[in-house]
Structures are given as C-alpha cells and as structure tokens.
Amino acid sequence: MQSSVVTDEIKKQVENYLSLYPEEQERLAPLIHQLNENNTDIFSRKSLPGHITASAIILKESDPDYMLMMLHQNLKKWLQPGGHVDPGERPIESAVRELKEETGMDGGVDAADFLVPLDIDIHPIPANPKKGEGDHQHYDFRYIVKVNTDVIPGNIENNKVAWVHIKNIDNTGLKILIEKLRQSMS
C-alpha cells in the first residue's frame, strides 16, 4: 500500500478520534501540524519532529484489571507491546505484528478498531546514538487487540513480558488510556 494512502487513512483516524475526544485537540496539535504541514513521510523513523508508532492494548480475558506489558530494553520502562510502523503498513497491522514479534502471542482486532484507535499518545523519545537517532516524538496509535489465551509464551526477543495490574502501571499516558477503557466498558 502506498504511504500517501495510509497517510490519508491516518488523517481520517485522527479526525474520527477527535470527534470522540475533542478535548484532546490541543494535546494532538504537534501530530496534526505535522500531518497537514510537513512534507516528510510521517511513518519514517527519520521523520522529525516525530513519526507514527502503534501499540497493542491487551487486557487479560480472565481478569480485565490486568494489562499485558513488557519491559522495554532501551527505556527500562514497562510498556505495552508496540513499535514502528513498516512501510505501507497500517498502524493497526503494525500493532498486531509487534505483539507477535515481542511476545509470541497472536492477536486480532474488531473491524471497528480500524476506524479509530482507543488512544493516541504523544511521548518524547531520547536520542539513541547507536541507531543514529536524535531526540524525537512518537505519535503512538493504541488499539485494543484481543488474544485467545492468557498464557504468555516463553522468552521472545529477550523481552520480559507480564500481566500487570492496572493500579501498578506508573505511566501518565497509560493511566489516561485505562480511564478510557473503563469508560468504554461501562
């Protein structure tokens, strides 16, 4: 799929998202500005000031107070599975692929989830000289992904993966997402 088609889909997802959460317009201003004014490929890791990433949000089926998290090797933080979007890939496809690559778990999504992510988070990423990357931002599109088991496979990509109780998640962006989850479940 051509990146201009996917970029148009991203613009539509942001529009759909803001129709649900209009109070987030200001918070998403850097993403909106880059989508509308910047001629760089917003999916490229070299795109500045930021680029699109995607994450899989998985709640434990047997106890939805637990979220699947992994210890990020570089940032040394517990995060949801996710990562960079490959060329021509939709963010939701990336979220499902990253889930499999990072945890070994297969996941699926409902058709409606293609239209709007549960959350869009903008967070700073520190420079990584090993990768030749300066400081930048990730525009993280977060989708609900369903898995068919609560069993976490063996060690994948040397990641520590665990079900973490949502009260123990110490990340402001994820706390906002958890509140959205609770609202959508009630």
pLDDT at 3 over 80: no
Domain CATH number, residue 100: 3.90.79.10
Q: Report the first-to-last Cα separation within the chain, whole angstroms.
A: 37
Total number of domains in the chain? 1
Domain that holds residue 9: 3-185
pLDDT at position 5, please?
Answer: 67
114 pLDDT band, cuts 50/70/90, is: low
Residue range 84-108: average pLDDT? 90
Q: Quick one: pLDDT at residue 186? A: 60
pLDDT of residue 133: 82
Helix-strand-coil split of the chain, %, nearest 5: 35, 25, 40
176-180 CB contacts, 8 Å cutoff, 24+ apart: 176/119, 176/121, 177/57, 177/118, 177/119, 177/121, 177/142, 178/67, 180/118, 180/119
48-63 mean pLDDT: 91
Regarding beta strands 119-125 and 136-144, do their DSSP bridges make them parallel or antiparallel, or are they unpaired? antiparallel
Percent of the chain surpassing pLDDT 70: 89
Work out the pLDDT band at 98, boundaries 50, 70, 90. very high
Give 117-175 pLDDT, tens digit per residue: 999 999 888 888 888 888 999 999 999 999 988 888 866 667 789 999 988 888 877 87
* pLDDT of residue 49 exceeding 70: yes
pTM reported for the whole predicted model: 0.89
